[in-house]
Amino acid sequence: MMADKAPFNPFVPPQRRVGKAMLSLRPIDDPAHDEHYVDVCGSARAYQRLTGSPDVVEDILTTGGYVLAFGESGCGKTALVNRCANWVRAALREALDAKVLVVDLRRHALALESSSVATRIGWACGRLVRALRDEDALVDPAAPELDSGDPDLILPELDALLDPSLALVVLLPDHLDLVREVLLYASGMLSPRVLYLAESALLTDAQVRGIELALEDTRPPIVLRLRTLTRADVARFVDDRLRRHRAAGRYPGVADPALTELVSTKSVKTLQRTLVGTFEMLRGEAVNYSESYAVTLEDLNRYTRGIQS
C-alpha cells in the first residue's frame, strides 16, 4: 500500500543525498543520471547538436575537437557538458574498442579565475600530464616534451604521446577571458583523439559568433547554446520529477497556484533549489507529505522566507 511507503523527495537526483541535490547531474560517474535529464533551456537541442552530427566521432579521432556550451548562469551548462562527455566517452570506446579517459579540471575554476590565459593553459597542461602519467596512458612517461611543461610542445602532440589505444576527454574550467582561450585551444592546441569541453555564463551571442567566424577556415568549436528558462520548461521539469518517482515512495503534488509562481523562476538551478528545499521542509514536518496533498504557494513562500531569515 502507498501509505506504507517511505516519504521520498522526487527532486533529489538518483544516488544522491539531499545535501548534494544541487550538484549537477554526472552520468560520467553514475550512468543512472543520463535518464534523469529534462529538456529545459534548449538542452535537448544542444545535446543533439553534438550527438546528432554523423562526423563528430571521426573528427575527434582524426583532428581532435573543442565543444563550448554557453548560456545564462544556472541554465544547466555543467550538467549538459557532463552528459556530452559521457556520450563522447561511450562513442569513442565503441570506435576504438579501447579505454577513454575523462579528466575533469573544473574544480579549480575559482582558483584560476583571475589568472592569465597563458597561465591557465599551462596549468591545465601540467595537470593533464600528471593525470596521464597516473593512468599509465603515455607511450613514454619520460618523454622530453612532457618534462618541458610547454603546452605548445605537449598539447598538439598528444596523439603521438598517448598510448595508441586510448582517447581523452578533458573538461576545462570557465574563465573571464574565454574568447581568447577558445581561440588558442581551437587554433593550435588540438590533437587527434582528444576532445576539450568548456562552458561559459559570460560569453555573449556576438562573442561566440566572433569565435565561430575566426575559426571557420580551420577547426571551429562545436557550440552548444542554452537559452533562458521558459514557462513550458518549468512545467515540463516539475511534471517529469513528480511522475518519475511514484514507485520510489510517497510525496505530494504541486498545486496550480504554486506552479504558476514557479514559472517566474529565472533559472533551472533556482527552480531545483526551491523544489528540493520546499519538499524537504514538508517532509521534515511530516504533516502534509502524502499523495493527497499538493504543495501550495504558501509552502513555497514559507521555504523562501526560511532561507532568507
Estimate to the nearest angstrom the gap between the alpha carbon of 248 and the chain centroid.
26
pLDDT, position 109: 65
Across-strand partners of 65?
A: 195
pLDDT, position 219: 85
Across-strand partners of 91?
A: none
Answer whether 56's CB lies under 8 Å from 47's CB.
Answer: no
Residues contacting residue 271 through CB under 8 Å, at least 6 positions apart: 229, 234, 237, 262, 265
pLDDT, position 3: 52
pLDDT, position 178: 83
Confidence of residue 309 (pLDDT cuts 50, 70, 90): low
pLDDT at residue 308 greater than cutoff 70: no
For residues 148-163, give the mean pLDDT.
Answer: 96
Tens digits of per-residue pLDDT, 18-51? 888 899 999 999 999 999 999 999 999 999 999 9
CA–CA gap between residue 85 and residue 94 (Å, rounded): 14
Residues contacting residue 282 through CB under 8 Å, at least 6 positions apart: 252, 288, 289, 293, 295, 299
Residues contacting residue 151 through CB under 8 Å, at least 6 positions apart: 121, 122, 124, 125, 189
CA–CA gap between residue 169 and residue 178 (Å, rounded): 19
Tens digits of per-residue pLDDT, 258-268? 999 999 999 99
**pLDDT over 90 for what percent of the chain?**
78
Residues contacting residue 301 through CB under 8 Å, at least 6 positions apart: none
Confidence of residue 125 (pLDDT cuts 50, 70, 90): very high
pLDDT at residue 58 greater than cutoff 60: yes
Confidence of residue 1 (pLDDT cuts 50, 70, 90): very low
pLDDT, position 4: 74
Q: Cell numbers of 98, please?
A: 579501447
Of 85, 8, 3, residue with least CA distance to 276: 8
- Long-range CB pairs of 154-159 (<8 Å, 24+ gap) are 154/125, 154/128, 154/129, 155/121, 155/125, 155/128, 155/185, 155/189, 155/190, 155/191, 155/194, 156/188, 156/189, 156/190, 156/191, 157/191, 158/191, 158/193, 158/194, 159/64, 159/191, 159/192, 159/193, 159/194
CA–CA gap between residue 253 and residue 279 (Å, rounded): 10
pLDDT, position 2: 46
For residues 218-226, give the mean pLDDT.
Answer: 93
Determine the straight-line distance between the first and last CA of the chain, rounded to whole angstroms: 39
Average pLDDT across the chain, whole number: 92
pLDDT, position 258: 97
Query: In 10 A of CB 163, how many CB atoms?
Result: 16
CA–CA gap between residue 91 and residue 125 (Å, rounded): 24
Tens digits of per-residue pLDDT, 84-118? 999 999 999 999 888 999 999 988 766 676 788 88
Domains of the chain: 2-12+230-308 (1.10.8.60), 41-225 (3.40.50)
For residues 123-135, give the mean pLDDT.
Answer: 95
For residues 11-15, give the mean pLDDT.
Answer: 85
Distances, alpha carbon 54 to alpha carbons 46, 48, 89, 269, 293, in Å: 15, 11, 16, 32, 48
Answer whether 254's CB lies under 8 Å from 242's CB.
Answer: yes
Q: Phi and psi of 192, rounded to 5°? A: -55, 145
Radius of gyration over every alpha carbon of the chain, rounded to an integer in angstroms: 22
For residues 296-305, give the mean pLDDT.
Answer: 95
- pTM for the structure as a whole: 0.93
Residues contacting residue 116 through CB under 8 Å, at least 6 positions apart: none
Residues contacting residue 154 through CB under 8 Å, at least 6 positions apart: 125, 128, 129, 145, 146, 148, 161
Tens digits of per-residue pLDDT, 182-216? 999 998 999 999 999 999 988 999 999 999 999 99
Residue in the structure block whose three cell numbers are 565503441? 94
